[in-house]
Each structure stands twice: as structure tokens, then as C-alpha cells.
Structure 1
């Protein structure tokens, strides 16, 4: 089968399209899936650039959808022919504190598809049955490929904070995860604005088309705007999805006393801000990474109810043979979500 692999973890580039053996079931709880669609994530771009760890040589890709083609003898939750998505933590210990408290993505022995073990930029992959979810009938396979980042957004909005009807939420960073967080927050009943800069013009226009008010912070005074919209108190929740160091202090400026900042974007380096504000203003800063079973089911439910617009976020689609052009678009601000169709 065809597969897109990172061949050397320490070298910029070093991606190549190879013919590799088709995987087989590994045990009675294995599910073999023919990949239909797989999304390029920011993590994939960082792996390409040598900026993120990977267990090379390894097949990239962790956002995907597909169809079950084979199952182990003890698999009961899916059958051959089912349309499915799967969580990313393929290998975990199953016995540690985190595995036993529904936080297996924190397991020290976790290996995720796409960088720890072979992933979804291939025609087939094999997953364990306990992390495979069936796709509702009214969700396309292209849309379902983005269930993973949608589940991340659900985790940020529902688990790491608790967005409620009437909350004022500011999302910083109009990339894919920012737009998904904004949509989840709005679906939960919050008033939401999403913030970008000049280079994000097309993404802010997309936000408007899918019902999220966008703000260019290089053309508008964000703290003053937030004050006006909140009658002077500040927003209830900031979801920081840009990964820019300078934005953390901006988040501190606009969140209200007793408010919450959820850090979703991965920041390079150490941000600087006034730590005394955490005590004096009783601000909570919390991180958000990954998802769990419930987040995936919630994500699929929101998608099936059309509360999340995935279709308009898919900007480009390619075969694996066109991977260089796909990664070029995914690395720029021109594209939003870029999909591969490995079977083509």
C-alpha cells in the first residue's frame, strides 16, 4: 500500500511516499480500517520541519476517517463495513493512574498514531477496538476526518473549563482548532468572538461565514472592544489557540476577575506576564491537550446536529502523490484544513 513516511526524525523534510506492507490484525481486539480521508494537522507540519518528536521511520497522520474492512474475534462495537473514526492513543499501558481515570493521553507509555506509531497517511491502518467510534449517517467521511480536532475543542470547552449559556468567550487564533473551539463554545450558548491579525483575513472571513464574529486585533483595540462588549468587566473565558508568546499577556488583559484562560495552542519558548495578576484578580490558567471517549462522542453528536460547520473548513483535498503541494498549503495561511484521500 502507499504511505507517506517521515524517514529521519532529526532532519527538516525527509518525507517520502513509499510502498509498504499492508497491516494485518494484531489481536482479537484489533480493527482494520481502510482510510478514506486524513487531515493535515499543525503537528504534521512541525514533524515535517523537524520541530516535533517522531519515532521515525513512521507514517504520519492522526486525523482520519475510514471504513472497517476486518475485525478481531472479540470485537463487538463495530462490524465490517461500518464508517468509523478513531482516537489517537493507539498504545497505552492500561494500568497507570491516567489510564484508570479516563486520561489515557497522559499515559507515560502512550504512543499515538502519526508520530509514535504508524498513522493515517496510508491506505490502511489497524486500531484497537476500544478507541474506535462509529460515524452517524448524516456526517460525510470528509467531515468525519476532523472529528479529532473537534474532540480537542470539546475537551477545551467542556472539560478544561465549563462554557455555559450567556458566557462571553474570546478565542485567540482563527486557525482550525480556534475556529472549532469558537463553534463549540457558541453551540454551548456563549457569546463568542474570534481574534486574528492581518495575515488571518481569509480565516476571519471564513469565521463570519460560519457565524462567528471575527476581530482583527491589528485594526481594532481588542481590550477596549472587550470592555465595551462586557460592560467593562472583561470576558469570562479566553481560549488561546494561536500559540504566540505575546498573546498570553493579551489574554490576561481582557479576561475578567475570576475568569479563566484555557491554553490550547502550543507555545514555543516561555511567555512573560505579570504573575501577581493571577492572585490579585483570581484568574485561572489551565492547559488543554487531547480528548477522551466522551469528547469524541460529544463531537460526533454536535457534528450530526449541524452545530459545527466542518464542510466549509475543508479548503483543499489531495491524493498522497500530491503531498508536497498539500503540505505547502497547510503550512501557509491560505488553507484551512487540507485533506488527503490515500486510496486515490
Structure 2
């Protein structure tokens, strides 16, 4: 079968090559035919070799599919089930303090699909039963493929913070995770101001369609003036930084009011210089959030069942895996929001 593989270390070195089909573990294994696989910023980082990876490795970790084989001890899913998959627990010890509490992201030996072990930009994957969540027929497989990025947003907005209806929130960075945070904030009854750069113009327009009150191009408008105007000079109740850029972090610190909440979602990936005393003088609640936990997935599956979020509107492109380079470029140039790959020979 074909797969999109990081074939060796270094920038680039991603090719569409033949790999063998994975083998389903005889006891707790589940083999899945991939139906939709979303391109994530992490895939771009692996391509550029700015995120730790272990080549040769098949990329892709946001996906859904249909079960085609199960091991003898598997009980929760069966052949034919339509499923979402938690890709982040592909390799964990299961015994450390963090694993036992469900915070697998902090396991010292953890490796996730798409960078640490083979991922979903191919036809079949093999995983453990505990990674798999069966879904009812009314949940589309496209929606199911958004489960993992939705989990990142759920932890940030629903689990680690205390936001309420009526709060005014600045969301900086209208990428896929940012837009999922927007959907959750709107569902809570928050008023959301979304900020991005000129390159984000298409995404800023989409943010308005998805419920943002205001969308600000920070290259053409004065964000701080708008914030003060919209909050009677106080600043926003909370900021959600999803851009992962030093300039965005500084803008967010300036925008949040005294006794407000700062939530860091985006990965900056390098050192930045900031007026750190701002946190002290404003007495801010500062929250960092890394992906998700086991309890997050329980909530995500409930959200998929309840169909309350406009997840399908996040999907802007669907391309065959043979056109993966075009799909990656769409993401690099921010010409789409969520770009899906589907398997073709």
C-alpha cells in the first residue's frame, strides 16, 4: 500500500512510497481502514524537521476509519464499526504517575502516531483497542477525523480554564485549533474577538461565519484600540493564544484585563523576549495546555454524539493522498482551514 513517509532525518525527505500493510495484534489489536486523515501543523513541522520524529515514519495522526479486523480479546469494537482514534498513546508505559492519572502526554517514553510510530497517511493502520472509539452512524467520518484536534481545544477551553457566558475573549490565531476553540467559546456564550495577520484573511472571514463577533487583521488595524473600545477600556476577560508567535503573545498580554486569564495553546518553538512582569502587575491566571488527556476524550466523544458543534464547516479541502504536496502547500499558505487526505492507489 502507498503511504506518505518521512524517509530520513532533515528538512523535507517526505515521499509517497510503498509500505507493507500493518499486522493486527492477535489479542487487543484493531486494524482500521483509514477514510479521512487531516493535515495538522505537526505534520508540517515533521516535514520541516522542526518537531521530533523517528524516520522512516508514516505521517498523519488526525483520522477516522472503519474497523476491518480485531484481535481475540477485543470487546468494545467490532468489524464494520466506524471509529475515531486517539493517536497520542501509541507508545506509553502505562505505569508512571502521569499514565495512571490519564495524563499520558507527560509519559517519558510516549510516542504518538505520525511522528513516533507510523501514522494515518496511508490505507490501513493497526492500533490497540483502548485507542479506539466507536461512533453512531449519524456522526460522519469527516467529523470523526476532527476528534483529535477537537480534544486539544476541549482541554484548553473546557477543562483547564473557568470561562463563562458573557465573557469577552480574544482568540489570536485562526488556524484549525483556534477555530475549534472558537466553536467551544461560542457554545459557552462568550463574545469572541478573533485576531490574525493578512495571510489569515480567508480564515478571518470564516471566523465571522463561525460566530466571532469581530475579526481583526492586525497588520491593517490597531488591535489594542479595538480591544479597549469593545471592553470599555478594561481589556478582555481572557485571551486564547493559538498562533504560537512572539508578537501574538505580547499582544495577548497587553489585551487581557487585570485579574484576567491567559491561555497558551500555540507552540512557539523558540525563545521569545516578553515583559514577564505584566503577569505579576495584572495578577493574571496563566494556563498552558498540551494536547489532551484520557478524560478529555470522554468529553470529545460526548460532543460528537450530541452534534452541537458545526465541525463540518471546518473542512475546506478534500484531496487524494497522491496530491499530498498540493495539500501541504494549501496548509503552508493558509489557503484552507482543515485539509483532508483520502487514500488512492
Q: Does the Cα contact within 8 Å between 2:151 and 2:297 map onto a contact in 1?
A: yes
Report the CA distance between 1:277 and its aligned residue.
Answer: 1.9
Question: 2:175 corresponds to which residue?
Answer: 175
For 1:123 and 1:80, the matched residues in 2 are separated by: 16
Q: Does the Cα contact within 8 Å between 1:183 and 1:307 map onto a contact in 2?
A: no
Q: Does the Cα contact within 8 Å between 1:249 and 1:272 map onto a contact in 2?
A: no
Q: How many pairs are equivalent?
A: 343
Q: Does the Cα contact within 8 Å between 1:131 and 1:293 map onto a contact in 2?
A: no
1:296 aligns with 2:319: no
For 2:81 and 2:249, the matched residues in 1 are separated by: 43
Q: For structure 2, which runs of at least 5 residues remain unmatched after alignment?
A: none
Q: Secondary structure at the match of 2:23?
A: coil
Question: 2:84 corresponds to which residue?
Answer: 85
Q: Secondary structure at the match of 2:220?
A: coil
Question: 2:42 corresponds to which residue?
Answer: 43
Question: 1:55 corresponds to which residue?
Answer: 54
Q: Does the Cα contact within 8 Å between 1:121 and 1:320 map onto a contact in 2?
A: yes
Question: 1:281 corresponds to which residue?
Answer: 282
Question: 1:73 corresponds to which residue?
Answer: 72
For 1:79 and 1:336, the matched residues in 2 are separated by: 33
Of 270-279 and 305-314, more deviation after overlay is shown by: 305-314
Q: For structure 1, which runs of at least 5 residues remain unmatched after alignment?
A: none
1:34 aligns with 2:33: yes
Q: Which runs of 4+ in 1 moved over 6 A?
A: none
Q: Given the two structures, how large is their TM-score scaled by the length of structure 1?
A: 0.95
Q: Does the Cα contact within 8 Å between 1:174 and 1:203 map onto a contact in 2?
A: yes
Q: Does the Cα contact within 8 Å between 1:87 and 1:132 map onto a contact in 2?
A: yes
Q: Provide the alpha-carbon RMSD of the alignment.
A: 1.6
For 2:209 and 2:278, the matched residues in 1 are separated by: 36
Of 210-219 and 145-154, more deviation after overlay is shown by: 210-219
Question: 1:117 corresponds to which residue?
Answer: 117
Q: Secondary structure at the match of 1:227?
A: helix
Question: 1:107 corresponds to which residue?
Answer: 107
Q: Given the two structures, how large is their TM-score scaled by the length of structure 2?
A: 0.95
For 2:206 and 2:111, the matched residues in 1 are separated by: 34
Question: 1:228 corresponds to which residue?
Answer: 229
Note the alpha carbon deviations across 1:3-47, whole angstroms, 9 max, x for none.
11100122x221111221111122411111110000111111111
